[in-house]
Structure 1
Amino acid sequence: MTDTAASAPRVADPRQWGSRTGRRGRMLGLLGCGVVLAVPFALLVVRLTGLDAGTPLAVPVVLFPYTAVLSVLVLGTMLAVPALRSRWAVTVVALLTAAQVALLVPRFVPHQRHVPAAAAELRVATLNADVGGADPRALVRLVQAERIDVLAVQQLPSAGVAALAEAGLGTLLPHHELHPEYDSSIYSRIPLSHGGPLHADTAWPQTTADVTVGGRTVRLVAVHTYYPLGDAKRWTRDMTALTSVARRSGPDTVFLGDFNASLDHAPMRELLASGLTDTHAELGHGWARTWPAGKSLVPPLVQLDHVLHGSGLVGVSVGERTVPGTDHRAVVAELALLPARERAG
């Protein structure tokens, strides 16, 4: 007879179970971080390659600054939670975040430009009136309070022109180049000359005019481009046409209006590379937001309205103002004309 000993049942080591659970939790945590960072990574690729030009990607790329904030938050979480401190994962997220921050930082660093005390100045403003919905009396009060010399208005129909006249805008800005049929108009305290539609391949003509400031002629272009959500290719053609005009323009040029573009759009960067400067970025106001405003519970998220100027001018101040009745905020900027020897190269 053979004696057999009964085998004792195996009991799993609790530490082993904890280790397995910890590994599983860590993997799920890292996977979650990866899923969250998929959008920031995708928009970084779009931003670096310019894939937004002429494509539907022009719509989400306006959120690029927000995805950079998201990346910073994820990186901070990974560093704060020991279970997520995977060296390779932290390195990848750190590189992603660094690339995003590197693209954004320049617009928050003011340009160091000397403005001579005796330099002539030009105060300008732009507003998309939302098909005449902007409160005309509020706009007149803004012009008066900000001592505006030149006002560009987009989406201002004939009824809106009449409402502004009734509100007394003509008393403050008696000179004008009004083209409600072209979708943009210019009002001015200073006499205008050489006004009319811009000869460029845009969805609708842009309105232009000249003003004389400090003995110099400044060319004004009141901008309203097509919108990417409606037709990204048409919007890109508008921006390309404006870029072509800017390349032919002199240093004393101001493009102002609703570009339906942010600084993260490739066509906008092409326009700036043609010799123009965005006043917000020049003065370090890198996260201005002008749309949507006023008509929804959503606060302004992105900057679509800009004041761009040539190398003959320099930004002194810039800001956004709310005008009831429209979904855009007004942009108000003070520009100074530089002597020829102090212009940017």
Structure 2
Amino acid sequence: MHTVLRLAARGLPVALAVALAMRWLDVTARGTVPAVQALAPLWVVLTALGVVTVMVVRRWRVLAWYAPAALLAAYVAATTLTHAGGAVDSRTPGRDFTLASLNADYGEADPAAVVRLVDERRVDALVLLEADADYLAALDAAGMQRLMPFRVHSGRDNPVAGSMILAGEPLAAVIAPAEPGPYEFEQPAADLVVGNRLVRIRAVHPWPPILGGASAWRRQLDHLRIWAGSQPEGVPVVLAGDFNASADHPVFRRLSDGFIDAVDAAGPRLAPTWPRGLSLVPPFVTLDHILSRGARPYVADTFTIEGTDHAGVIARLRVP
């Protein structure tokens, strides 16, 4: 029994080090690797608890086994808590607009609460994922038509695959070819005029890296990166939605390179957006983002709406 406990004491820090090191492993392995990467906050917490426990009981030899995991955990924690910067200075000239994004969770997010958010926070454009024509009708019944009469969506009769962009000012639909394949959610794009500048907004909702769709998830995020890179120079681009990916996924880091993550830029803090509504499990991973290039975040935060397992993201962006 003593031998088993000794092996377990040494095996746990090794396993934690391997799990944390997977943050740099750019493969899907049928969804196993992305799942392990998404749990990086858990591996950091377990490593910290392990180190503290070993120090309290003064098992110094075991502590040496924790060294690789501790170094990796410290790096991951530091990159999470140290914001990337990029928020605009309040004195910088330009026109502001407010963008919000929410995964409506099969159209179950409280429509009246969404309308109140748009009204009270003076949202100029709203990106909705997992929202179909029936959900839009529910929003309009709660008053959305008055606040945001302009819409770009496919009218797809599917509460999971449907996505839409709503605005209080005219929107112009933009052709945004989807990554072909059986695993596909709607990801429309639209142009919004802010001041005298055109801002291109893309709703983001790739397939999650589960249910056999890990390869499609990776291809779709890479496709978004290529699409964003192909947009006309000088046109601000905003990617907003449920990316089904966090900064712990290499494919997301590739996509976000050159963009500013609005919540990260607002300051160093933890802002997990999923899962919400579980009694024993708090939100632990940031899947929802607003990424901007050419429009700089002024303030940003997350918000909650009853009925959905995602927190939404809202940002005030300034267009020079």
Determine which structure has more spread, i.e. the larger CA radius of gyration.
1
- Aligned-residue offset at 1:299: 2.8
Moved more, 118-127 or 158-167: 118-127
Amino acid in structure 1 at the alignment position of 2:152: E
Alpha-carbon deviations, 1:19-52, whole Å to 9, x = none? xxxxx96x76653333332442222221122234
Q: Are the counterparts in 1 of residues 153 and 165 from structure 2 also a CA contact under 8 Å?
A: yes
Structure number with higher relative contact order (C-alpha < 8 Å, ≥ 6 residues apart): 2
Q: Is the 8 A contact 1:236 1:267 kept in 2?
A: yes
Check whether the contact 1:320–1:331 (CA below 8 A) recurs between aligned residues.
yes
3-state SS in 2 of match to 1:261: coil
Q: 1 CA distance for matches of 2:155 and 2:222? A: 23
| CA distance in 1: counterparts of 2:65 and 2:151, whole angstroms | 55
CA distance in 1 between counterparts of 2:35 and 2:274 reads: 13
Distance 1:53 1:306, change over 3 A: farther
1:241 aligned onto 2:241: no
Contact 1:39 1:67 in 2 (8 A): no
Mapped partners of 1:278, 1:140: distance in 2: 25
State whether structure 2 residue 77 is matched by structure 1 residue 104: yes
For the 8 Å contact 1:197–1:205, the answer to whether it is kept is no
TM-aligned CA distance change 1:261 to 1:336, over 3 Å: same
List alignment gaps of at least 5 residues for structure 1.
Answer: 1-23, 340-345
TM-aligned CA deviation for residue 235 of structure 1: 0.8
Q: CA contact under 8 A between 2:31 and 2:210: conserved in structure 1?
A: no
Alignment match, 1:188: 167
**2:196 matches 1:219:** no
* Counterpart residue number, 1:324: 306
AA of the residue aligned to 2:204: V
- Give the structure-2-normalised TM-score: 0.88
Q: CA RMSD in A?
A: 2.3
Return 5+ residue gaps in structure 2 as ranges.
none
| Partner in structure 2 of residue 142 of structure 1 | 117
What is the match of residue 316 of structure 2?
334
The residue correspondences of 1:17-166 to structure 2 (distance < 5 A) are 30-52=6-28, 55-82=31-58, 84-86=59-61, 89-110=62-83, 111=85, 113-117=87-91, 118-166=93-141
Contact between 1:295 and 1:326, CA under 8 Å: does it hold in 2? Answer: no
| 2:267 equivalent in structure 1 | 284
Aligned residue pairs, count: 308
Instruction: Measure, in 2, the Cα distance between the counterparts of 1:293 and 1:42.
Output: 28
Percent of aligned positions that are identical: 31
Correspondence for 1:174 among 139, 149, 152 = 149
**Aligned equivalents of 2:15 and 2:145: distance in 1?**
49
Structure-2 separation of matches of 1:122 and 1:43: 40
For residues 235-282 of structure 1, give each alpha carbon's deviation from its aligned partner in whole angstroms, at most 9, with x where no partner exists: 111111111112223461100001111111111111012x22222222
User: Residue 96 of structure 1 aligns to which amino acid in structure 2?
Assistant: A
Structure-1-length-normalised TM-score: 0.82
Residue 308 (str. 1) matches residue 286 (str. 2):
no
What amino acid is the match of 1:90? L
